[in-house]
Structures are given as structure tokens and as C-alpha cells.
Structure 1
């Protein structure tokens, strides 16, 4: 019963952080990616802050035998950079550079009235569903 409430609070805090940092504004993101133009480095500070908090928090969290709300930790098992990782990263980067959205900020803006996110989020969900379908089709 408590886990959904904790998840909701974490999601709201994450969304508020994105909104306060203006990462829900695709123009802000595109300005970060425009190295030859009006480059805005603020996204690098937001990402750096997130990485710092993660590095510090994971040192304490991973000392636990199990997570607070779960039976086990779900950590990546792959340790090598492979073709699928590179292709996925390239597709993510291309999509991010074209529209200025990544999944978190896109979901955070759905209720804001931004009609661009109303197009992006369904396309993102279809892409995820196609990827799962393709993986099931190719794996035994």
C-alpha cells in the first residue's frame, strides 16, 4: 500500500524539479544542444547535480540487502558496450535533438497544455511497444 504512494511522491518531486529547472521547455534543451549558436549550459548543471545526488545516494542504498519497496534491486547486468546500446543511444540523441524532449520531461508536460508533448508521448509509447514486440519476436 505504501509503495504506490512513495512512487507518486517521487514522481511529483521529479516532475517539479524538471519544471523548476525549465527542462520541460524543449527550447531550453535545444539551446543546450546548439553549441554553435546561443548555447545554454544550464542543462549541464542540472545533469551534473542529478549525477552527484545519484552517486552519493547509491553508496548508501546499495549497502542494503533489498530495497525499501521491492524484493530485489533491478540493476543493469550488461557490462559491455554493444551495438544495441549504441543504436539506442543514437536514436535517443537524434530524437532529443530534433524535438527537445526526453521521456521524463515529456511526461511532465502532458498536462501543461503543450500540444507538442501530446504528439511526442504517444509516439514514444508506440516506439517502446515496438521495441518490446521486436525483442520478443527475436528471442527464443
Structure 2
């Protein structure tokens, strides 16, 4: 299975503890797919909501297709996610009861189809974010020291 990454939401890993991941299809129009092939999407402020038994992706920005005509797509429109009914029910329960949120983690092509990886996440506290930054800095320093010693 070949996967080609379109964009990733690095901010989600900084802001949330990702507890579970789901793969979902997404309903798109032709100019959106063409625009995604050129890599013009942004997941930073995107989130998932469940309404009437259907999951929707909000605030996903897909830039208008450069060679599109007057029927080009709206860059900020809400897009329906394609999930099984059990997955939607589980997602809805986790969001409503556990105080979790659903955020898109990455957008990618898989066998010619656009897929979204949705993470069920809990928000991090400020001290958790600082700890993660400290760990990241330590890891970077250790790698730098190891490089110097290896020479």
C-alpha cells in the first residue's frame, strides 16, 4: 500500500495527548483533489464534529485550484468524513462523555484516494507541554553529543 503525505498537523501533537487513531475517507469535489495533488492544504485549525450520525471536518483549508474555472470550490467548506456507523458512534461517545476532542492528524493519498487520520485526543496542560519540550531538547542534545563523539 503506497501512501503519499499531503500535509500533517504537527501542532496537534504539541497541544494534545493522542489516545486513539482512526482512518477515514473524505468527500471532495474534483478541483479539491487536483489542488491536493499539488500539496496545498492546511490542517492547523481543523477539527471534527459529529452531527445527526455523520462526521464532518471543519476548518480544513484546501486552496482553490489554480486552473479551476468559476465553479472552483470554497476553500473553507465543511467536508463529510466517511466512517462506519460504529466508528462514528464511538467517536461521538468519546467526544461527549470523556471530554476528548477529535482532530485530524494527517491528510494523505492511499491507493489513489484521499484519507484523513483522525486522532481522539485530550488537551495537554501547560506543564505537560513544557515537559515535552524539555524531553525534545534533551534528545536533541544527546544526538548532537553522539554525533561529535562518533567523529
TM-score if structure 2 supplies the norm length? 0.26
Q: Which has the larger radius of gyration?
A: 2
Q: Greater share of helix residues, 1 or 2? A: 1
Q: Greater share of strand residues, 1 or 2? A: 2
If asked which structure has higher relative contact order (CA below 8 Å, sep 6+), I would say: 2
